[in-house]
Amino acid sequence: MLPGIDDGATDLAASLAMARMAAADGTRTIVVTPHQMGNFAHNRGDDIRARAAALQKEIDAADIPLSILPGGDVRIDDGMIEGLLSGDVLTLGDHGKHVLLELPHETYLPLEGLLAELKRHGMTGVLSHPERNRGLLQSPELLAPLVDSGCLMQVTAGSLMGTFGSASQRLSEWMVQQGLVHFLASDAHSPAKRRPLLNRAYLRMKELAGSEVALATCCDFPARVAAGKPVPRGRLLGAAKSAARGGWRRLFGSRRAA
């Protein structure tokens, strides 16, 4: 959403158009996540912070009811931990708590060691769009152990709606039904394609897992991250699942918070 920094908004006009769309759709806070590391190692933390603050001023001047927070979509790469500790690589909301992790699109890389190292530094990994990773599409059984070990999962709204193909749609729906999704994100790139809209995907999430899970993944948990507060880890099971276990309640496979 930051103008001209990566493959997202091309200019300020596009950024403001996206801000208006998001606000009209009911969003009130956005953590901008330009790519960092990998091919975007030139995107430095201080520059992202400055650009986010500048965009917030433009949004305020345009009277759009939307708050912008800095963050990064961090490609897993050498030097990532050092960058996070120095502040050059950004956590979500810049609170030093939650790291949005991006795998290479074409393959899966074992994450257990990285997740453990993040934990040693008081940080929690949030895996970005796992439903679009080819390795995980081929081996979805890898997802549950990651969640059970404390990794949080963020699914793209467009995946639930079929934007990225039927395979990603099926995997994202299965993940929701298995309690393996903690966040639903727009992953917005422009006002024309991959727009900053969540409402339709929220309704689909509600159909798949119930209102409690839909509210948690679209509202409650993102708000916690934006405020630098812990998010419950483990599987998130909604009314349909927990009813079979004796009641309507939000049930976590683990009661730890990250």
DSSP, residue by residue, 165-221: -HHHHHHHHHHHHTT---EEE-----SSSS-S--HHHHHHHHHHH-HHHHHIIIIIH
pLDDT tens digits, 18-73: 999 999 989 999 999 999 998 888 999 999 999 999 999 999 999 999 999 999 99
CA 65/CA 86 separation, integer angstroms: 32
pTM above 0.85, yes or no: yes
**Structural domains present in the chain:** 34-40+73-252 (3.20.20.140)
CA 8/CA 10 separation, integer angstroms: 6
Residue carrying structure tokens 């502040």: 87
**Largest distance between two CA atoms of the chain:** 52
Percent of the chain with pLDDT over 70: 91
pLDDT tens digits, 69-102: 999 999 999 999 999 999 999 999 999 999 999 9
